[in-house]
Structure 1
C-alpha cells in the first residue's frame, strides 16, 4: 500500500499504549495465578516496552489512517506471545506451568489465521500490518524453540533461528530479497512448526516421539528454505533465463521470506 497523507499520532497512540498496558496486566495476572518470578516479570516487561517502542516508531515512519481491526488482532497475539516469553524465561529457574504456557501459545497460533482474514474482509491489508504479523509469528516460534530445547537439546533452536539467518544472509546477498511466488507448501510447513513445537512443549507425547516430530519439522523447514533459495538463485537479476517475478499492483520491497511468512 502506498502511504500518503499526514500521520496523526493521536489516532494510533491509544492502541499501542493500551497494548503495552494490557501486556503488563497479563503479567500481573500470571504473577498472581501461577507465581511468575522476577525473571519472567522482567522479561515480559521488556518485551512489552520493546514491542511498544518498535511498533510506535514503525507507525510514525510509514502509516496513515486508523490502526485497524486486523492490527488489533495481531497486537492481541503479541500480548499472548509476551506472556509465553515471560513463562519461558521463568522456566529456567522453576518448573513452568505447562498448561498455561500451552494455552497461551495455542491461542496465539489460532489467531494467526484470524488477522489475515480480518484484513482481507475489511480491506485493511497493508505491508506494515503483514510485517507486524510476520514478526510476531517468528518470535513466537523462536521462544517455543528455546522452551523445547531445554529437554530435547540446543539443535531445536535451528528452527527459530533459520528465518533470522535468512534475513541476515540477504544483507550480504541482495538476490535473496527477490520475490517468491505463492506456495501452499511453504505456508503448510510454516504452520507445522508452531503446532509441532507446542505439542512437544506440552509434554503430551513421549520424549522420543517429540524429538522425532521436531526433527521432522526441522527437516521440512530446511527443505522449504532450500527450495526458496534455489528459486531465488535462478531468478536473480542478470541471470540468463531468469524466471520473472509475480506481478503486483504496488511494488513490495520487503525481503522475500518476510512476504512469504506473511502469506502474501
Structure 2
C-alpha cells in the first residue's frame, strides 16, 4: 500500500515507456466493466440514484486520466490483471461518493465496500510481480486510488462520526504533500522503502473504515482518529526531513 509517497524499488522491472505508445490491450474492456461495477454498487448496494450517476461521472473522469497516463508512462503492451484490479478498486472507491451526494454518510455498507477495496490493495501488486508487469505507473495508480479512498472515507467520517474537522487530516495529507511539491520540487523526489510508512498507511485506512460503523463510543472514535492523524503527520514529517537532507 502506498497512499503517501512513492518508494524507490528495483528499476530493472520498469522499462522506459515509448513515446506515443498505444493503450494497452484490455483497457477498453476493463473501463466499462468498472463503470458497471460502480453504478451497480451505487444503486443496488448503497441505494442511491442521482448520487450513483455522479459517482459514475467521477469514475469515468478518473478512467480518462488513467488512459492519458498509460499512453505516456505505461511500458507494457497489455493491461494485465494487476491494473484491472486497481481499476476495479477505483470503481469501488468512487462508488462511495454516491451516498455523500445523497446525504447518507457513514454506515456498514460504506465500511464493507472500503474493506473490499483495501483488501484488494495487496492483490494488484502481487499480480504485477507474478505477471512481470511491474511499472512506475502501476505503483502510482495504486497509490492515488488509496489516497482517494482515504479522502472519501474522511468526508464520510466528518458527516457521520463524532470526530470533528480534524478527521480531514487523514484524507488530505497526500494532497497537501503534492501541493508542497509544486512549491518545493525536491519534495517529490523518490523515497526509500519504509515498512513504517506502510504500517502508518494501514493504520490510516483501517481507522477511517472503523469510523464508518456505529459501534465505537464517541471517546474511542476520537482517540483512534487522533492517534492515526498523529502517526500520519509523523510519517510525512519524517519523510520531508529525509528529502530535505538529501535534496
The answer on 1:176 being equivalent to 2:191 is no
Q: Distance in 1 between matches of 2:224 and 2:32?
A: 39
Q: Deviations over 1:157-183 (max 9, x none)?
A: 112111101111111111112221111
Find the counterpart in structure 2 of residue 106 from structure 1: 115
- Seen in structure 2, the aligned counterparts of structure 1 residues 21 and 7 have a Cα distance that, compared at 3 Å, is farther
Equivalences for 1:1-264 in 2 at 5 Å?
1=14, 2-4=16-18, 7-9=21-23, 11=25, 12-30=27-45, 34-38=46-50, 40-63=51-74, 64-90=76-102, 92=103, 94=104, 96=105, 98-150=107-159, 151=161, 152-236=163-247
Q: CA deviation at 1:80?
A: 1.1
> What stretches of structure 1 of length at least 5 have no aligned partner?
237-264
Q: Distance in 1 between matches of 2:178 and 2:23?
A: 30
Q: Is the 8 A contact 2:20 2:71 kept in 1?
A: no
Q: Deviations over 1:91-123 (max 9, x none)?
A: x3x4x5712111101111111111111111221
Which of 1 and 2 has higher RCO (CA within 8 Å, sep 6+)?
A: 2
Q: Distance in 1 between matches of 2:222 and 2:106?
A: 21
Q: Is the radius of gyration larger for structure 1 or structure 2?
A: 1
- Seen in structure 2, the aligned counterparts of structure 1 residues 7 and 14 have a Cα distance that, compared at 3 Å, is farther
Q: Is the 8 A contact 1:16 1:55 kept in 2?
A: no
Q: Distance in 1 between matches of 2:19 and 2:175?
A: 33
TM-score, normalisation: structure 2? 0.86
- Equivalent residue pairs, number: 229
Two-structure CA RMSD over aligned residues (Å):
1.9
Q: Distance in 2 between matches of 1:118 and 1:138?
A: 21
Q: Distance in 2 between matches of 1:157 and 1:231?
A: 25
TM-score, normalisation: structure 1? 0.81
